[in-house]
Amino acid sequence: MAIEVDCRGKKCPEPLIMTKKALDSIDRGRVVAIVDDEVARENIIKFAKNQGYGFLVETKGDNFYISIDKEAVTAGKPEKGGCCEVVPSDGSPYVLLVTGDTLGRGSEELGKLLLKNYFYSLKEAPRLPECALFLNRGVYLTTEGSEVLDTLRELESRGMEVMSCGTCLDYYGLKEKLAVGSITNMYTIAEKLSAFRTITI
């Protein structure tokens, strides 16, 4: 019997994460993901291909039904790149350098949404950063009022160190509003950046 995952109405990256969780819960069998968005459909199809799973896509009205078969075989090595890849593909230790409170250039509203989605996706990554370093406007994410506080607290509880630049907190008048992680200095930040591969967002 197939596991049905209704992802209709969900925004990226939730459909992919919901589908991945369903597949991770079984050794073998079928998962049917139902989506109503073409981007979600393509993300799930690419994930299935990268993992070496067989799949079939059916269109029913405005919905897409993606049947994914997981067999007890060794899948090929996932391709590099693609939507929702949030960690180095070789599994090496790394640190995350967060330099702002939005992701990408353009709409600030979209940038905040993308950054929120990034941290949400990071919770499902096979390997978390050794630490996340927040500086400049990035410190707004670790202080009161941040939309990603709960996510950062969960990541911290799972072993990701959360560190905010003290100079930056002082500059923006946020030191008393720090709500997750610890305060650090530029010497420590430089040490971390020298010791590990760095992903900057």
In the prediction, which pLDDT does 90 show?
54
Give the pLDDT score at 100. Answer: 94
* Residue 38 Cα distances to 11, 65, 83, 171, angstroms: 11, 11, 13, 43
Is residue 44 helix, strand or coil? helix
- Residue 53: per-residue pLDDT: 85
Task: Count other Cβ atoms within 10 Å, centred on residue 121.
Answer: 20
- Write the pLDDT tens digit of every residue in 134-149: 999 999 999 999 999 9
What domains are defined for the chain?
3-70 (3.30.110.40), 94-200 (3.40.1260.10)
Tokens at residue 114, please? 């993308």
Specify the residue for token string 């597949």.
23
CA 91 to chain centre: 15
Whole-model pTM: value is: 0.63
Cα-atom radius of gyration of the chain, to the nearest Å? 19
Position 187 scores a pLDDT of 86
User: Which residues does the chain have with pLDDT short of 70?
Assistant: 72-91
Three-state SS at 19: helix
Other C-beta atoms closer than 10 Å to the C-beta of 78 total: 15
